[in-house]
Structure 1
Amino acid sequence: MGKKAVSLKDFSEALGISVSTVSRALKNHPDISLEVKKKVHEMAKTLNYQVSASGVGFRNASTKTIGVIVPNMERYFYASVISGIEAFARKKGYFIVIANSQESYQREIECVENMVRLNVDGLIMCLTEETLDYSHFDKVRPKELPLVFFDRVCRTNEFSSVIADNAEAAKAITCHLADSGSQRIAHIAGPRQLNITRERVAGYLMALNDKGLEFDKDLLIHTGMKPENVIEAVNRLLKLSKRPDAIFCVNDTAAYVTMKVLRDNGLRIPQDIAVTGFNDEFHSSVVAPALTTVAHPAYEMGQETARLIISQIESLQPPTPRQIVMKTTLVVRDSSIKQQPVVAEHH
């Protein structure tokens, strides 16, 4: 449901002053006394009401804008999601306002507050790797501001979300590594608090069980998304007395870093250690060896997210939380295949 209107008449009736006085007080007009301004602004705070960023108009008026907050705008995945959101929103007459939380929980809070001040009609979110508390979303509830998550989502079930079939994708890529000859398969996973981490770890463990491979806790490493975090994780794996013969990485960028560390240590890919990623980013087909990964429907995820948020904005009824799960595809390339098919010699 769109944002519930709080009118100047509501202020006028509650305070016993004229609508025009309320309007001028909200804009801090010099003709209005400090006492009246104080009463009006205190009432605005009570009603969780804000004047728009421009200082004119109502907080509740439609701006035909949708806020989009992502944790890392430099990543190909998020750029693709944003493209999908923008394309669908534009067709429906909406513009998007993008903010980058830079994997910082504090900056995420600031981004949410800024979007509310900008009077966006709806908000699309992907959480940072630091986000453990969701209290900053309390700011959107009283305004009935539609909120939809994608990829990294809130643990509560009160908001709609669009995610990938992470568990099935992780299971498929781990099974592929086992079928290709790997026996000690490591997983460099993301931070524990993220839903995508929990789901992919679950798929990884299911695959090990299905393939009769013993789980070694030393082969599962939770780490941050920065390159230095991945480098540290790979070096930990290489120091094990029984090192892995395959590494399933949290995303393609982590896989590129992993391959560089392995090469720097004189190891061959995939002969010594196979490597896989997740997301099928632009460079994954052209690196050497070409990276086995999971094709993530990022653009389509963006479109579905935009479809959901606009539906909520334009609905006259309170939204029923929905979860849309997007299918992924295993993309097998050279970085993972240890066993080559046997070709009979012809004499």
Structure 2
Amino acid sequence: MTSRHISLKDLAKELNVSISTVSRALRDHPDISSEVKEKVKQLALSKNYTPNPLAMGLLKQETRMIGVIVPDLVTHFYASIISGIEQVANEMGYFILLASSNESVEKEKQAIENLLKARVEGFIICQTQETQSTEHFEALIERSIPLVFFDRICLSDRVPTVTVDNKAAAQKITQHFYQQGYRRIAFISGPDQLNITKERMAGYLEGLKQSGLPEDPELIEHCNLSFESAKQAMARLLDTANPPDAVFGINDTVAFAAMQKIKERGLKIPDNVGLVGFTDDFHAMVVDPPLTSITHPTYAIGQEAARLFFQSKDNKQYSTPVVLQTQLIIRKSSQKTCHGDHDDAETAW
């Protein structure tokens, strides 16, 4: 038989006093006599009473809970960011309620509704790849519910955001390829509406320009960020009359899919096709060859998102967007000019 959580009401009923008397006794309120305080505390101890933070929060109109919504709960990228959020939240006496949108805008909307019913005080969100309309976010803003976006963002003129310098990172990737001797550099992009797509596309094009390489529409393919969609995009690139000798994937999942398709075609990485990803997933180090990738300061992203949340909550003011820097971790998948003992080296740029 499951034991029920002992409430203030249960203690009050047994002692034949009011709930407020029990509550004040447990808080050592000066209006309560020492004798009553002792009785209340002894009973609470014998019944293993512990305060219900949700009930206490409702009394104060403050539940000390933050709703965190991410596209998935599996990848290290989001897990590390969540850890950063949780660390700052715990320092502030808050805890987080997690929800996964599974890249579905309908699930994203439902998660917001469910977390509001759980009385979260606000949200920290990475939007889905499907999200185009911002009405469900604007409804939160209109109700003055604190909201922070990270990585995939929108409404950045009204909502605090945390991102990395996607444009500079993508430009660095393109120039790295050029320095390694690659000249037909392709980009497998994501959904057009995402800020990460726009910013990384801009960096890719700027990198081509800085390297003196022409823009070629045949070298740009789109996918929906799924493994299969990315494989199909890579196949289309390889089927062109003049296929690429290097490929930049908008994230590591896309790059892993491209790697599989390249190998299926009997081509060698990095000799026939160089490959670079973005996010530096754990698997980047264990695939063959190890994948060159942009590494995010994921834990710091989470910390900054949580700090912005509390600033927004306390000041009710818009905060300047936070943009963090990245590193290009160079591994074998893009080291065309490296030979011998240096093939397995890992360097940061």
The residue that corresponds to 2:298 in the other structure is: 298
Higher relative contact order (CA 8 A, sep 6+): 1
Structure with bigger helix share is 2
The residue that corresponds to 2:167 in the other structure is: 167
Match of 1:323 among 316, 321, 324: 321
Which has the larger displacement, 226-235 or 253-262? Answer: 253-262
Q: Return the offset for 1:138.
A: 3.2
Counterpart amino acid of residue 121 in structure 1: E
Q: Return the offset for 1:238.
A: 0.8
The residue that corresponds to 1:182 in the other structure is: 182
Q: Return the offset for 1:156.
A: 4.7
Contact 1:157 1:321 in 2 (8 A): no
Identity %: 42
The residue that corresponds to 2:5 in the other structure is: none
Secondary structure, aligned partner of 1:98: strand
In 2, Cα distance between equivalents of 1:228 and 1:245 = 21
Q: Return the offset for 1:282.
A: 0.9
Counterpart amino acid of residue 267 in structure 1: L
Q: How many residues are matched? A: 288
Counterpart amino acid of residue 113 in structure 2: E
In 1, Cα distance between equivalents of 2:254 and 2:100 = 20
In 2, Cα distance between equivalents of 1:199 and 1:170 = 8
- Structure 1 unaligned segments of length 5 or more: list them: 1-53
In 2, Cα distance between equivalents of 1:64 and 1:274 = 48
Secondary structure, aligned partner of 1:130: coil
Instruction: Report 1:145-294 matches (<5 A).
Output: 145-294=145-294
Counterpart amino acid of residue 323 in structure 2: V
The residue that corresponds to 2:338 in the other structure is: 340
Contact 1:59 1:119 in 2 (8 A): no
Which has the larger displacement, 198-207 or 321-330? Answer: 321-330
The residue that corresponds to 1:87 in the other structure is: 87
Counterpart amino acid of residue 223 in structure 1: C
* Cα offsets for 1:38-62 (capped at 9, x unmatched): xxxxxxxxxxxxxxxx899859811
Instruction: Report 1:15-94 matches (<5 A).
Output: 61-94=61-94
The residue that corresponds to 2:136 in the other structure is: 136
* Cα offsets for 1:169-207 (capped at 9, x unmatched): 000011000110110000011111000110000000000
Q: Return the offset for 1:253.
A: 1.7
Counterpart amino acid of residue 153 in structure 1: I
CA RMSD of aligned residues (A): 1.9
* Cα offsets for 1:271-316 (capped at 9, x unmatched): 0000000111112122211111111111110011011102222x1x
In 2, Cα distance between equivalents of 1:228 and 1:336 = 23
* Cα offsets for 1:191-230 (capped at 9, x unmatched): 1100011000000000000101111101111211111110
Which has the larger displacement, 55-64 or 91-100? Answer: 55-64
Contact 2:189 2:250 in 1 (8 A): yes
In 2, Cα distance between equivalents of 1:204 and 1:142 = 37
TM-score normalised to structure 1 length: 0.79
Q: Return the offset for 1:81.
A: 0.7
Q: Structure 1's 271 and 57: CA in aligned 2 closer, same or farther, altered over 3 A?
A: closer
* Cα offsets for 1:124-162 (capped at 9, x unmatched): 011110111000123323431100000000145100000
Secondary structure, aligned partner of 2:275: strand
Counterpart amino acid of residue 157 in structure 1: D
Secondary structure, aligned partner of 1:157: coil
Q: Return the offset for 1:321.
A: 3.2
In 1, Cα distance between equivalents of 2:305 and 2:191 = 24
Contact 2:308 2:319 in 1 (8 A): no
Contact 2:167 2:200 in 1 (8 A): yes
Instruction: Report 1:93-104 matches (<5 A).
Output: 93-104=93-104
Q: Return the offset for 1:75.
A: 2.0
Q: Structure 1's 229 and 342: CA in aligned 2 closer, same or farther, altered over 3 A?
A: closer
In 2, Cα distance between equivalents of 1:146 and 1:60 = 17
In 2, Cα distance between equivalents of 1:84 and 1:57 = 24
* Cα offsets for 1:53-78 (capped at 9, x unmatched): x8998598111110000112222211
In 2, Cα distance between equivalents of 1:170 and 1:141 = 32
In 2, Cα distance between equivalents of 1:57 and 1:291 = 47
Counterpart amino acid of residue 334 in structure 1: K
Q: Structure 1's 240 and 84: CA in aligned 2 closer, same or farther, altered over 3 A?
A: same
In 1, Cα distance between equivalents of 2:272 and 2:59 = 60
